[in-house]
Amino acid sequence: MFDTAADDLRSAATSVGGVGIAVAEFTAGRSVWNSRQIASQESAVVVRGAGRDRPGPAAALHLHLEPLTLRQLVVRAAADWVCPSRTPVTSGGGGSDPG
């Protein structure tokens, strides 16, 4: 990641927000770095993949997409480097054990 051009990094991950059911549908089968839910609203950080980052499906689900800043990407990469044993959150449940 640290050898990648800044322009390429800007599209590496996206924040997705909206109604929880729609976010779950959008993130199904995608790599999710983290997610948060408050009442019926949810947001998730999704790693963008080739051909899977088109805004059409998100627009149909009335979701808001926003790329992560370079700072957010670097912080995430540093966290993975410091704590490599963390289990990434994947769509469909789970995540790392907080204990």
Q: What is the pLDDT along the chain (99 residues), one digit of tens a residue?
A: 556 666 677 677 888 999 999 999 999 988 888 899 999 999 998 887 534 555 678 888 999 988 888 888 878 777 765 555 555 555 554 444 444
Tokens of 99: 């204990």
- CA–CA separation, 87 and 24 (whole Å): 19
- CA–CA separation, 31 and 17 (whole Å): 15
Amino acid at 7: D
The full set of domains in the chain, from first to last, is 6-82 (3.30.70)
Amino acid at 91: S
